[in-house]
Chains A and B, each alone.
Chain A
Amino acid sequence: MPRRSRAFAFQLAFTVLVSAFLIVPVGMSITAGLTANYFQGVKSGLTLRWVGEVWRLYRETIFLSMTIAGTCLALDLALGVPAAYVLVRRQSRLTRLFEEALVLPVAIPGLATALALILTYGVYREFRTSWVFILVGHVLFTLPFMVRSVLAVLSSIDLRTLEESARSLGASFIQRFVGVVLPNCRGGILAGALMVVTLSIGEFNMTWMLHTPLTRTLPVGLADSYASMRLEIGSAYTIVFFVMIIPLLVAMQLLARPRQHAAAEEPES
């Protein structure tokens, strides 16, 4: 089958080429961050010195990003899960409108949202200069991802009947929400949570408008280092970002197929 193997070879070559096109810059960037002198190349020696420099110069941005991502997640959980529940249980024109409106901050450029926030709330100096100002932007941007993710799971189960059967067994609203609703949308909550944290840590274009010199997040710091530091430091900073974000992305992929996993692990009795 020469024709078929030629087609296969072509496809393989194409795939490798495309992958390389995307992966090589990542590798270059990582190498640059670990090389003593990028212009002399790897032969100048490998070092963690630049990573150390990043830690010294920018660790505040890492902590702030983590604080904002964590708080943003907490708020998204507190707002998004109940919102998704209400959207599923009370389907009306109003809730559909709400669902659409919720997605607007994703559709509108982050710069525009940020500008609107500054125009409206910029006069409150305390608020404007605190990291909570950035947090508000992040919640606006990430909330729809949490709601959508939980909504997808809740819509796929017969929530109403499950709740009715819990009620018939004597469960109060709190008991059935905690004991029946939440556990049955756990997959959606987890997937949404990872998405929210990932997006919040990586969010740049809105944050760039909202930050002050004292409230810089990791991506804002990255931009600063690229603009004003040696190439090695900027690249080392990228490595730090990878270390933070890649475990989250992997966890998200694993969560995307929880059912097959559970079924495969379950012994047939």
Chain B
Amino acid sequence: MSSAGVGIRLVGCAKTFADGTRAVEPIDLEIRAGETVAVLGPSGCGKTTTLRLIAGLEAPDPGGRVLFGDVDVTDLPIERRNVGMVFQSYALFPNMTVSENIAYGLRVRRLPAAAQRERVDEMLAMMQIGELRHRRIDQLSGGQKQRVALARALAVRPRALLLDEPLTALDAKLREGLRVEIDTLLRRLGMTTVYVTHDQAEAMALGDRIVVMSHGRVAQIGGPRDIYFAPASRFVADFVGTMNSLQGTSRDGALEVTGGRLPWRGQSSGEVEVLFRPESVTLVESAEGSLTGRVLSSFFLGDRTRLVVEGVGRAPIIVETAASREFKAGESVYLKIDPHALLVLDR
């Protein structure tokens, strides 16, 4: 089973609720056929509403249009959009067994019984849950429910798969495992997928592209690397991963900050704020041409050590190093920051 699914376009779609709340400002969004797009943002940013606009559970404000391929589906209710949807709470039917849940979409489509059985078997095998087929829903673990919800959504051969925070209700370990599984599944199916999450690690791992949303607007659209290394705004930079900030004064091709000087080819003079990731910093042995700071605290993470360093810039910065030695609080460290990794963004 490999159906590429359909490309999806939102054109000028806004959503204002009956009480006057503007959940989504007019947005334009294009999701290519077969692509997995992760919609990322904090709670209340409009990401779930955007998903519901695509699904047909919400109608956009007048003027907005939703297109599946070249077909305008704006006025088509969800029942007739043929999308597969997975909800945060899974929303499995408690009155039905696992098999009956998976068959539900086929039953309402009045598929012949034999074809229903065949498709259910196929889905059970694909999600590796064959032994659960006769179980009731309240006898399933969170991870099992998740698999059943995916199987049920995929059983109808949808044109697009829409996932609303599907892993949020699970514990961290299980989340990790299912993330890999979902990724493998989506790659294999080549299904057009919209994946809503507030977890940036999930978005980075699963999304071919990420749509970062904030206050009902799209803050940035791009591949995981674009989003991480070239954030379009302070909001994106802060929301995705850890970002350090240094205030400095540009003078003679260098940036003077508390704790030393940085090579600088940017703006020639005046106050500048630069941003950089913890992993863009290297610890060096000598004070020569580097920044000097003091370790405030250190966290040994196994494969690396995370240091909180003060004395460089005004606020403490976070540094990650592969060094496996122990760092003591108060110890002096010398830092170099990759000049290409320095970012300047408007507030």
A interface with B by C-beta (< 8 Å): 157-158, 161-162, 164-172, 175, 179-180, 183-184, 186, 266, 269
Contacts and interface: CB of A to CB of B under 8 A. Distances in A.
Contact of A165 (B91, B135, B139): B91
Interface string B88-102: 010111110000000
Interface stretch (B78-86, B214-222, B277-285): B78-86
Interface in B238-286: none
A168 B83 contact: yes
Q: Which 5 A-B residue pairings sit nearest by Cβ, starting from the closest?
A: A169-B105, A183-B95, A165-B91, A168-B85, A161-B91
8 contacts: A161-B89, A165-B92, A168-B84, A168-B153, A170-B82, A171-B79, A171-B105, A183-B95
B57 A179 contact: no
Contacts of B84: 168
Interface of B: 55, 57, 77-80, 82-85, 87, 89, 91-95, 104-105, 107-109, 134-136, 139, 152-153, 156, 162
B80 A170 contact: yes
Contacts of A172: 79, 108
Contacts of B85: 164-165, 168
Nearest to A164: B57
Contacts of B91: 158, 161-162, 164-165
Nearest to A262: B136
A136 B154 CA distance: 50
Contacts of B57: 164, 167-168
A169 B57 CA distance: 12
Contacts of A165: 85, 87, 91-93, 152
A266 B139 contact: yes
Nearest to A160: B91
Nearest to B80: A170
Contacts of B152: 165, 169
Contacts of A164: 57, 78, 85, 87, 91
A171 B91 CA distance: 14
Contacts of A170: 79-80, 82, 105, 108-109, 156
A269 B95 CA distance: 19
Contacts of A166: 93, 104, 108
A90 to B, nearest CB: 12
Contacts of B156: 169-170
Contacts of B89: 158, 161
A186 to B, nearest CB: 8
B75 to A, nearest CB: 15
Contacts of B77: 167
